[in-house]
Amino acid sequence: MQRANSIAEKMFDVKHRHIVFTIPDALRPYFKNNWSLFDLLFEAAYETIYDAIHQICPKLDVIPGVIAVCHTFSRSSRWNPHVHTIATVGGITKYGKYFQLYGDFIDYAMLRKGFQKRLLKKLQKTLGPSFAPVAVELVKNYPNGFYVHAPKLPAKIAGSVKGLVKYLARYLGRPCVASSRIDGFDGKYVYYHYKRHPDDKLFFEKVLVSTFVHRILQHYPPKNFQMVRYYGIYSNALSSSSRVLTALKTKQVTFLYSRAAHQKRVFYSHWRGAMIRAFHVDPCLCPDCDTEMIPIFSVYKGIIYWDVRSSGKPRIIKSQLFPPV
């Protein structure tokens, strides 16, 4: 819920599309050994979408809004980096008006070739001349470009921006191997199953525990790595620009949720609000006088953490035997 709120906070109530950008097997080891290359993957995905819209109406200088999320595993839990994007089907023009594209703007041939060209160019510039033969070979092996896909969504979600946000947040927040898919462990081997994408064929795996643990740990990103990126009119640089502010002021676009509604959603996504929503009881209210209670202490592993408040601000003091004087 918190992830969905974070994504939905910046979104406008306009039509969006879900587009996935995937790289071939030959490129995956480069990203596994160097997480900074994901910056290039994100940028190539956004630039591909931008050009697809810009070519339809170049004189209007339409800038779309794109939210990109990194995903590093397949259903089998193996290393398979790809980027999920939520893109506006249109964008804000240089005049501060929202331009809505009609019909299906996705030209898969253009997107695939454009994504391939931009990503390989960025990788060659970053990795140097040694990458040039690899790029030439990939262009030869993938004459139609790299795989770009706009997955078919469930009927309840299709056409609903709010449903799309919830679907993606739930999908992207799942672990690489859910506990429900682990069938057993005999002390040496781990047994689990998965359904292959896209035909949903069921497969069963038996791997050494060391292999299983490695498959999970390889997906942990380095510290401060940003899994969610915002581009175009959703970026920090443009979200407060004159063209976006003009579109908001003239009601050309409105936020997906009002500011008041967003704050309400944030409250109900944290533990106190979630308790109220689920059980209709506020855990922070005294059951006798109906006054909001103040935390005094908590106990964790035999240590008392005292919450001493001065000027209304909490100050945590640890004690194993006696309270602070």
Query: What is the structure's pLDDT at 319?
Result: 57
Give the fold, CATH level 3, of 2-175+222-257: Replication Protein E1; Chain: A, (3.40.1310)
Q: Which residue has the higher pLDDT, 34 or 305?
A: 34
Does the pLDDT at position 244 exceed 60? yes
Q: What is the mean pLDDT of residues 285-307?
A: 82
Q: Give the span between the Cα atoms of 118 and 243, in whole angstroms.
A: 27
Does the pLDDT at position 303 exceed 80? no
Does the pLDDT at position 202 exceed 60? yes
Q: What is the mean pLDDT of residues 50-76?
A: 91
Q: Give the span between the Cα atoms of 110 and 113, in whole angstroms.
A: 5
Query: What is the structure's pLDDT at 190?
Result: 96
- From 141-150, 212-221, 262-271, 316-325, the region with the lowest mean pLDDT: 316-325
Query: What is the structure's pLDDT at 325?
Result: 45
Q: Give the span between the Cα atoms of 150 and 235, in whole angstroms.
A: 22
Mean confidence (pLDDT) of the chain: 88
Q: What is the mean pLDDT of residues 243-269?
A: 91
In the chain, which segments carry CATH 3.40.1310?
A: 2-175+222-257
Number of Cα atoms under 13 Å in the Cβ half of residue 136: 5
Q: What is the pTM of this model?
A: 0.83
Q: Is 48 exposed, middle or buried (0-12, 13-18, 19+ CB in 10 A)?
A: buried
Q: Which of 28, 20, 29, 44 is nearest to 122 (CA)?
A: 44
Query: What is the structure's pLDDT at 158?
Result: 62
| Per-residue pLDDT tens digits for 144-176 | 999 998 877 666 666 688 888 887 777 777 888
Q: Which residue has the higher pLDDT, 102 or 186?
A: 186
Q: Which of 78, 26, 5 is nearest to 266 (CA)?
A: 5
- From 81-90, 154-163, 235-244, the region with the lowest mean pLDDT: 154-163
How sure is the predictor about 208, in pLDDT bands with cuts at 50, 70 and 90?
Answer: very high
Q: Give the span between the Cα atoms of 209 and 284, in whole angstroms.
A: 43
